[in-house]
Chains A and B, each alone.
Chain A
Amino acid sequence: MNETGNLKIKFTLNGKPIEYMVKPNWTLLDLLRKELSVLSPKEGCSRGDCGACTVLLNGKPVNSCLVLAPQIDGKEIVTVEGLIEDKEFKALKETFIEKGAVQCGFCTPGIIVSAVALLREKGNPTVQDIEEALEGNLCRCTGYIRIIEAVKQAAEKLQKTS
């Protein structure tokens, strides 16, 4: 920590090592969007109610608005930008388009992150598994039916190819 109270942290962002001077009162979401221009996580409610800012922290979905930037020192952060070569992401991208599971798109990056984490943990999730994995992500446009169907279909696609 220096005399201004700022501190240098090291972490990996989408597989790339990063060193950055952060202010203690920045959230991880502030760091990603304002400083690093990683724009897939969205600011919805800023209080952990909507899930639009969901990212993976050491592989687990968390609300980046509820994590302080200094708390990710030494940790691994993954956003949608870091998932584009990922097989779960590719399957989800196709099925979200096929099912029309995106309308305004604001919640989509958070939902994709939550869904990727689910599919990595459970290859063959039930509808209830999907509902539970997505319970922290709000969507105000499509309703949830198409989103749930898209995740289910992505899981089936991945099962067939594996």
Chain B
Amino acid sequence: MKLIPPYRYLRPKNLQEAVEQLGRYGEEAKILAGGTDLIPMIRDCLITPKTMIDISFLDELRYIREEGDMIKIGALATHSEILKSPLINGKTGVLAKAEKVLGATQIRNRGTIGGNLCNASPAADTAPPLMVLNAKLKAISVEGERIIPIEEFFTGPRKNALKPNEILVEVQVSPEPEKSGSSFIKLGRRRALTLSVVSTAALIVMDGVKCRDARIALGAVAPTPVRAKETEKLLINKELNGEVISSAAEKVVEEINPITDVRGSAEYRREMSKVLTKRCLLEALESVKR
């Protein structure tokens, strides 16, 4: 059994100390939370941080609460905690749906929402649901605090918009609106412990039979998770039915740029993006509370 390569290990006592340590070590440091993505990457020498700043003891970043019209999720909330949260299940069901199929029990017990986002995999399971919820991400550094809209957070495969001295501390979402419906579908090679071949999240807000707002996001079909805004436009202010949804879903291929990899070919991903977008929208429509 080979040891993972060594590094300097720091364990800040509070967030303030973590921010200072990251300010000092910036580029050469990695923030360690649940470790479910980071430790395999270090083991494979894909990254070789000189310093690890272990924030896993900072309980101040482990919460899920409602404040005003916002739901705030601490970066260290685990996938299991989010999945079991009545607040998340009641008000942002699309996120709960994605958490249910993320990794497996052991990964969900350890992995955190902040880690899933910072790792910035194009296939990150929490990204599409947070995109349709218009999530805002709060980052802090020695220079202060910054709010980053999730659409601007992913900048490339495994790249995010954080500066080297910034820590992601909170995910903020608005509850799903009244008269809305949502869904999330993940297509993997197996059901558990797998990266998505394609994942889709949809949220629609209805006004009678008319669609007032539609949001669609996809994972694993572009260098970053993406919103499909042109497809959304084909739904807004329309009377939604199977036909309208099917024809709109065709548009989604123009908004993605998939690659061929071990999990699936670009061609397959394009076809499945249409199918899953359609299914996801139909499920969302079905779930609208009238």
Our pick among B3, B8, B57, B109 for the contact of A26 (Cβ within 8 Å) is: B3
Our pick among B40, B44, B57, B193 for the contact of A135 (Cβ within 8 Å) is: B193
Does B39 reach chain A (CB closer than 8 Å)? yes
Our pick among A51, A61, A70 for the contact of B11 (Cβ within 8 Å) is: A70
Tell me whether B106 and A63 are in contact (CB under 8 A). Answer: yes
Minimum CB–CB distance from A151 to chain B (whole Å) comes to: 14
When chains A and B are docked, how far (Å) is the Cα of A24 from the Cα of B11?
Answer: 11
Does B169 reach chain A (CB closer than 8 Å)? no
Tell me whether A24 and B7 are in contact (CB under 8 A). Answer: yes
Minimum CB–CB distance from A112 to chain B (whole Å) comes to: 14
The stretch of A12-20, A27-35, A81-89, A94-102 that contacts the partner chain:
A27-35
Residues of chain B with a CB closer than 8 A to A46's CB: 1, 40, 43
Residues of chain A with a CB closer than 8 A to B80's CB: 60
> Secondary structure of the B side of the interface?
loop
Tell me whether B104 and A66 are in contact (CB under 8 A). Answer: no
When chains A and B are docked, how far (Å) is the Cα of A27 from the Cα of B8?
Answer: 15
Contact status of A62 and B9, CB under 8 A, knowing A25-B3, A30-B1, A136-B103: no
Does A49 reach chain B (CB closer than 8 Å)? yes
When chains A and B are docked, how far (Å) is the Cα of A127 from the Cα of B125?
Answer: 25
Residues of chain A with a CB closer than 8 A to B39's CB: 27, 47-48, 65-66, 68
Minimum CB–CB distance from B104 to chain A (whole Å) comes to: 3
Minimum CB–CB distance from A125 to chain B (whole Å) comes to: 13
Minimum CB–CB distance from A19 to chain B (whole Å) comes to: 17
Q: Which of B1-52 contact A (CB under 8 A)?
A: 1, 3-9, 11, 32, 34-36, 39-40, 43-44, 52
Does A132 reach chain B (CB closer than 8 Å)? yes
When chains A and B are docked, how far (Å) is the Cα of A5 from the Cα of B40?
Answer: 22
When chains A and B are docked, how far (Å) is the Cα of A29 from the Cα of B7?
Answer: 18
Tell me whether B6 and A136 are in contact (CB under 8 A). Answer: no
Tell me whether B4 and A25 are in contact (CB under 8 A). Answer: yes
Does A1 reach chain B (CB closer than 8 Å)? yes
Q: Which 9 A-B pairs have the closest CB atoms?
A: A136-B104, A24-B9, A135-B192, A47-B40, A136-B106, A60-B109, A135-B104, A25-B6, A63-B106
- Would you list 8 pairs from A and B whose C-beta atoms are within 8 A, ordered by A residue? A5-B6, A24-B7, A47-B40, A47-B44, A66-B106, A67-B35, A68-B35, A137-B104
**A contacts, CB < 8 Å to B:** 1, 5, 7, 23-27, 29-30, 33-34, 43, 46-49, 51, 54, 57, 60-63, 65-68, 70-71, 73, 114, 117, 132-133, 135-137
